Structure 1
Amino acid sequence: MNPRAPLLAACIALAPLHALAVQLMSAPVAIANPQENTSLVSRLNALDNRPGLSADYSFRISSQHPGVVGQKITRAQHTYKGLRVFGSETVVVTNTSGDIVSVAAADRRPGLTPSAVTPSGIATPSPPPPDQLTPNLSSDDAIARAVQAVAATGATHRWTPSAELLIYPVMKTVRTSSAANKPDDQLNAMDVEEVVDRYALAYLVQLRMALGSKLIYYDVVVDARNGDIINKWPTLQTVIGSGNSQYNGVVPISTSATSGGFQMLDSARGTGGKYGGMAITNANHSSPNNPDPGSIYTNSSNTWGDGLQYNGGSTTNANGQTAAVNALWGLMNTYDTNKNVLGWQSLDGNNTATYIAAHVGTSYDNAFYDDSCHCMYIGDGNSFYSLGAIDVIGHEMSHGVTASTADLIYAGESGGLNESNSDIGGEMVEAYARNGGTGSSVPASGNDWMMGKEISKSGEPLRWMYKPSKDGSSPDAWSANLKNMDVHYSSGPNNRMFYFLSQGSKADSGSDYYSPYLTKTPAAMSGIGNDKAYRIWFKALTTKFTSSTNYADARNKVLQAAQELYGATSKEAIAVQRAYAAINVGADIDEAGDGGGGGGEAVEQVVNGGFESGTTGWSGSTGVIGSHSGQAPYEGTRYAWMGGNGRRSTETLTQRVQIPATASSAQLSFALHIDTAETSNTVYDTLTVSLRAASGSLLTTLATYTNLTPAAGYQIRSFDLLPYKGQQVTLSFVMREDRSKQTSFVLDKVNLLTR
């Protein structure tokens, strides 16, 4: 190893970790062309070379949206023999040169190892044999069966029904071996797992229908061989249930000049879409079973509304305009919250404009988001006041964000998380709007943690986030029955988790803010505030969640997001673990303890991950380990300085680690600082992080970092290694420099914490 030749940037004081949290999402991304998609699929196939994989297994690009500046997030569905495997997918983060930065996945593909055996020792069933991959039913037959199954005979189709032929994993819940003898009422979410019981060739039928005054939106899974209904779930995403705003007084609204006056078209927020910008339209009592959004609101002056509940008369006079004022102010603040705080533009991150139609139906007690048009409809209310309150708008628009990213299946635990994300979004938009609707952070207060309180004539909100059970139906904590509940109720525990993460809890057992599951010290956990809690949650949703994410998976991925943003042992990572423990998902830990792993029973599998004991535990180019004046450590005094030579060179560090077969979580994390003298927009120098089997064969490449991704200070990288439980694997860091201009990859604080 030659003496290092670092840039001046290498000597800059380390950026505080909290600065990493204010990284913004990048501008709208260019959607990859077919050739780029083919290239990415090829790279994914090359990375995913586990035993059992063959040419029958591949990937299908489903969506793309921005990551943080310089990154793109791509969602790739898993396929088997050309058919999508439902709920099985990979989330890939790539940098500007197309290198894979991180990967998260939900793998339900048949016949794979090492993920073929669960912690309970249950083998994944085989896929349907080739002679059972030909359907006996046509797509039209499947649609007819689905219509019959949801009792929609005589209904009309609002949107053309679709029927996708796919492989459907029929799931079942099993206990982990460590929880085999636990009483049912003592089970924790980490004590059970969802495993594949069998695979079926099936049609996923999507129905968007109307019958009378009732909307019938359902996804139905129909067995393609015999026509049986395997599963079905409703998909209509509802709340249940200077202008003069009804709820917020006089508010500024962004309109556009038009011939003879003004219109509610906000051209400063969003582009394209149906109206070319964010718009509020007048549905003018159009039937909710087949609503016509109508035309954009217009007015001769730029003063709108009278601030009063709609009286049932004209929808275009001052009183009728008030519902539109509510809607536009809510839409503006939803857009601004996510863009100004996170950098996320509109619902899809790509700044595509949406619209809200006011005055749907007559005395209609509902508001709903319709993903077929990426828009929202608002009723005037009967038992409720007009449903255009700020948290309701934020809630419904957040459904659009979910649909564009994780696309959480609207049933079971994933459906509860889908609804919870919308409640979280509604509360954060409310906090932002109530404090002026400006700034780059979510204010610490301003929201009431009660969903829909303003629209309630009784004063009772639809949901209490801090104690969901106050509504009489929502649970406060996870239980095995959660997956069987309506998604508006199964959202309750995660809502409470987010409240605790932001605001903390109380130790008084008689308090609405108390959790009996917080058994460590202190009994009252500390919150980290709205801003940090929302950043962590949003990062997990957009870069890690898959459509089938459940509560246990969400806990692990939210923890990874916190570790990446704030550090493996940060107070924020500790708060995530305690907040989930408070709802019976994972074990509680002491607040002053280490926050890097899977709970109070975390075990470190890496020897000398901070390099303070020199070369102990490490093999390869161990001369890179030490302490030098040109670089600062993440913590302690030593680190591994890979690269920085300014000449053609290769350096490696490896360590063999064991991931216990009984592990319920396995989190790899490390601190990495990159600086470079390269100036071209070309990859010259790389650091590849991978796992290898005991035989030496490549299991997977976790990430590749390059000279194109330098940063002042360390960044925390984390990966879920649970798919490799029961194996002894070699953790490998390989640095390659070209013939000139140094790039330094400085590594510290390598942890593999298992529970």
Structure 2
Amino acid sequence: MNLRKTLLAASIATLPMVLSAAVHAAPQSAPVMAAPVSAQSPQQVDALFSKLAARRGKTGLDASHGYKVTVQHPGVTGTRITRANHTYKGLRVFGSETVIVSSDAGEILSESSSHLRDKLNAGKDSKSGFNTAPALNATAAIDKVTKELAAGGLHHVPPSAELLIYPVVKTVRTAAAANKQEGALNALDVEDVVDRYELAYLVQVRMLQGQNPIYYDYIVSAKNGVVLKKWKALQTVAGTGNSQYNGTVPLNTSQSGSTFSLKDPSRGTGGTYGMMAITNANHGTSPGSVYTNTTNTWGDGQQYNGGSTTNANGQTAAVNAMWGLMNTYDMHKNVLGWQSLDGQNTATFIAAHVNTSYDNAYYDSGCKCMYIGDGGSMFNNLGSIDVIGHEMGHGITDATSGLIYSQESGGLNESSSDIAGESTEAYARGGGTGTTIPSGLNDWQMGKEIAKNGQPLRWMWKPSKDGRSPDAWSTSIKNLDVHYSSGPNNRMFYFLSQGSESSSSSEKYSSYLNKQPLAMTGIGIDKAYRIWFKANSTKFTQSTNYADARNKVLQSAEELYGVGSKEAIAVKRAYAAINVGADVDENPGPGTGVSITTQPASINVSAGGTATFTVGASGGTTPYSYKWYRNGGAIPGATSATYSFTAQAADNGAVFNAVVTDAANPPTSATSQNATLTVGGGGTGTERVTNGGFENGTTGWSGTTGVIGAHQGQSPYEGTRFAWLGGNGQSATETLTQDINIPATSTSATLSFALHIDTAETENVVYDKMVVTVKSTSGAVLGTLATYSNLNPASGFQIRTFNLLPYKGQTVRLSFAMTEDQSLQTSFVVDKVSVIAN
């Protein structure tokens, strides 16, 4: 969506306005984002979507449901991020999208999706389709909005009307919270569900009444013209240069002959001016021309006096803008590896002196640029470091998650910019160099420097100090202006960074923190911003709300620093402090929680042998629960004190450990030491299958390879990837094959694989089946090993083994072939395929 992002609250009348060590060790240094990546070719995009389409039926969606790429940007080195809108019969489903992290080779590494389309003709047996024919045309929808907003206004940008499907969402309680009092509800006690779908237009109008911008987005019914939703789209907030707020600062400028210009050739490429630039709007609403000067000394460091915008006093606003832009760019690039706003190093610009005595600043996603006012009755020039960092933060959100600027997602959008502003301020105050954000240098007060009365726009540690922003989540938060609904998340980030205090008289106290210690411990602004940035750029969708944000920020902390790490625990506590999720203890203290008494031992087994690991625990409250991990990733179904499996050659060097959790409220956990598996010592068996665990994607396999991946809706036997054949709920045929050689000298050859079957079929009739065969390389069937069907469902995985010695001396084709009828899914989930030949 093309939105303008604003900093200032709409109240301004003049504006339009755990307890254990980490399960896997944190990296020595946090990973950084990759350099700009080229856009994927149409063929690569098609291949990616083919893999998504292969999963479509497994989530109850039919062929009318599709995807449309909206954004591609770098992920961490070796990966890229693709965001795709969900479509139905070619129309966008508003707010519903998928975020895909893929390798440079095109393999899907993770997928984060909103589910606003899931009830749109869900299931394969739907008889009628959603009607996509509008009764109202786009022109009529635009006219309706224009007349309602500003009948006498002028369009600053041509209006647009996009026909789409709008999910009308309602908030309902979870079953567990059905009897709770309203005031006792936590953000995780409710969920947003789709009540119905409406064919509608997203009407975007960008108008001016005089110099007053009127920017709105409307959702208008395409059936009868009724306004279903509306929200403000103007999202407001700010060589050698003499800066108003930062003293004498170095500026990167360009020179042509004897003329200098405020164009920075070292930051960003392309864009409107080929590099980062500052322009002079000269009291208008258009960018104007790039600032030039006959010397390379700029500004007088004083508040603009209303005279010339090009003399030394007029240049000061441009100095403020350039210094803020340079530091925002440098912080993100040097700390995170993220280049410019979009990660692709596309240059942006800032227009100074917008309008006359304008008490605001805003980001415009149409030009991907920022406008700053000189200030009027309430503010001085809006070019302070935190304000510019805030507005550029809107540009990053616009290029990544695109959080819808309304209700809870709008509050998170605003908060994300406040977070970026404070992080930029801390980096700049620390000298603007280095690969970390220093703590203790920012003031945690948004816009304090620009306010004529010395009062900031927002207090991060105590949002309610402004008289309108809440300190914690409640069911009414979605009804607030987004500048106020941002408050709880701002407080969360402050606590995550700096910690809280235990005295109820302190402004940094939260009554929701009721575990030990009452004063939670912060992790510093550097780690906190890395976690937030990762969540916003790789996990958030347009419709993410507070509950979803908490879960995805926690996932990001666990991926960066480890499951059970102090950073992950701090995320839980920081969100608990704003009534999103339950509080947890930071440390159980000696003797008060569960502890490991028997560590799993490293072992050496032959290929084809059984590997067994055991953990013992004591203390805390019984009974215990167990979770085993392989190379830091959870092993599905491994929930006993002992974990056993058939070892393959590919398992050599794998590292295992366990987390034991007790039954206390809240529970305490302990993490075991690592144990290493060595495969091959004392044995002569050789693994003949390539990539039998599918962890290397489709390597080694042929056929319907889109069934291979880390699919949502099913779990692997171990690792992260598996092959999911079936599960479509409609007529389908899927096959996986691999050619293997069994030497003529073999004395044994054993095929094994893990298989899980579940089904929606209810009759005692075979409708769906998977046949495992051995074929010649030309495709002739040499033998049928097994046939499985919807009549063979089983809880969890079953290990299946077969003798392949009769095929020694041959290169044969191992085949898994699935056929599914027209309705009611059956899933055949295959993992850990192995052929050991001695």
TM-score computed with the length of structure 1 as normaliser: 0.80
8 Å CA contact 1:642, 1:651 repeated in 2: no
Give the aligned partner of residue 407 of structure 2: 412
Matches within 5 A, 1:195-234: 195-234=193-232
Deviation at 1:54, TM superposition (A): 1.4
1:13-45 Cα shifts (integer Å, max 9, x gaps): x99944365211111111122222222111111
What secondary structure is seen at the aligned counterpart in 2 of 1:293?
coil
Deviation at 1:338, TM superposition (A): 0.4
If asked which structure has higher relative contact order (CA below 8 Å, sep 6+), I would say 1
Give the aligned partner of residue 191 of structure 2: 193
Give the aligned partner of residue 789 of structure 2: none
What secondary structure is seen at the aligned counterpart in 2 of 1:413?
helix
Matches within 5 A, 1:95-106: 95-106=103-114
CA 633–140 in structure 1, closer or farther in 2 if over 3 Å, else same: same
What secondary structure is seen at the aligned counterpart in 1 of 2:230?
strand
Deviation at 1:627, TM superposition (A): 10
Of 58, 64, 81, 2:89 maps to 81
The structure number with the bigger radius of gyration is: 2
8 Å CA contact 2:282, 2:354 repeated in 1: yes
Q: Which amino acid aligns with 2:275?
A: G
Give the aligned partner of residue 552 of structure 1: 547
Matched length: 654
Matches within 5 A, 1:301-700: 301-382=295-376, 383-592=378-587, 608-609=628-629, 622-624=646-648, 630=653, 633=656, 636-638=673-675, 648-649=688-689, 688-690=709-711, 692=714
Measure, in 2, the Cα distance between the counterparts of 1:21 and 1:408: 29
What secondary structure is seen at the aligned counterpart in 2 of 1:73?
strand
Deviation at 1:130, TM superposition (A): 3.9
Give the aligned partner of residue 30 of structure 1: 38
Measure, in 1, the Cα distance between the counterparts of 2:153 and 2:72: 35
Measure, in 1, the Cα distance between the counterparts of 2:298 and 2:795: 65
> 2:101 aligned with 1:93, yes or no?
yes
> 2:167 aligned with 1:70, yes or no?
no
Deviation at 1:733, TM superposition (A): 8.2
What secondary structure is seen at the aligned counterpart in 2 of 1:48?
helix
Measure, in 2, the Cα distance between the counterparts of 1:566 and 1:352: 30
CA 76–278 in structure 1, closer or farther in 2 if over 3 Å, else same: same
CA 733–381 in structure 1, closer or farther in 2 if over 3 Å, else same: farther
CA 404–699 in structure 1, closer or farther in 2 if over 3 Å, else same: farther
Give the aligned partner of residue 270 of structure 1: 268
8 Å CA contact 1:450, 1:461 repeated in 2: yes
Deviation at 1:640, TM superposition (A): 6.5
Deviation at 1:632, TM superposition (A): 5.1
> 2:150 aligned with 1:53, yes or no?
no
Give the aligned partner of residue 751 of structure 1: none
Measure, in 1, the Cα distance between the counterparts of 2:533 and 2:66: 28
1:320-351 Cα shifts (integer Å, max 9, x gaps): 11110000000000000000000000001111
8 Å CA contact 1:650, 1:734 repeated in 2: no
Deviation at 1:255, TM superposition (A): 0.5
CA 504–51 in structure 1, closer or farther in 2 if over 3 Å, else same: closer
What secondary structure is seen at the aligned counterpart in 1 of 2:27?
helix
1:665-711 Cα shifts (integer Å, max 9, x gaps): xxxxxxx9x9xxx9xxxxx9x995455499986569xxxxxxxxxxx
Measure, in 1, the Cα distance between the counterparts of 2:164 and 2:232: 20
CA RMSD of aligned residues (A): 3.7
8 Å CA contact 1:621, 1:651 repeated in 2: no
CA 447–127 in structure 1, closer or farther in 2 if over 3 Å, else same: farther
1:139-191 Cα shifts (integer Å, max 9, x gaps): 11111122234x22121111121111111100111111111111111111001
> 2:177 aligned with 1:182, yes or no?
no
1:441-464 Cα shifts (integer Å, max 9, x gaps): 111121100000000111100000
Deviation at 1:258, TM superposition (A): 1.8
Measure, in 1, the Cα distance between the counterparts of 2:147 and 2:628: 62
Structure 1: runs of 5+ lacking an equivalent: 1-13, 117-123, 655-671, 679-683, 701-723, 740-755
8 Å CA contact 1:108, 1:196 repeated in 2: yes
Name which of structure 1's ranges 294-303 and 546-555 shifts more when overlaid on structure 2.
Answer: 294-303
Matches within 5 A, 1:2-41: 17-19=25-27, 22-41=30-49
What secondary structure is seen at the aligned counterpart in 1 of 2:529?
helix
Measure, in 2, the Cα distance between the counterparts of 1:427 and 1:171: 33
Name which of structure 1's ranges 568-577 and 310-319 shifts more when overlaid on structure 2.
Answer: 310-319
1:75-127 Cα shifts (integer Å, max 9, x gaps): 011111221111111100000100001000101114379xx8xxxxxxx9x99
CA 78–384 in structure 1, closer or farther in 2 if over 3 Å, else same: same
8 Å CA contact 1:652, 1:733 repeated in 2: no
CA 218–643 in structure 1, closer or farther in 2 if over 3 Å, else same: farther
Q: Which amino acid aligns with 1:32?
A: Q
8 Å CA contact 1:505, 1:527 repeated in 2: yes
Measure, in 2, the Cα distance between the counterparts of 1:614 and 1:180: 33
8 Å CA contact 1:620, 1:652 repeated in 2: no
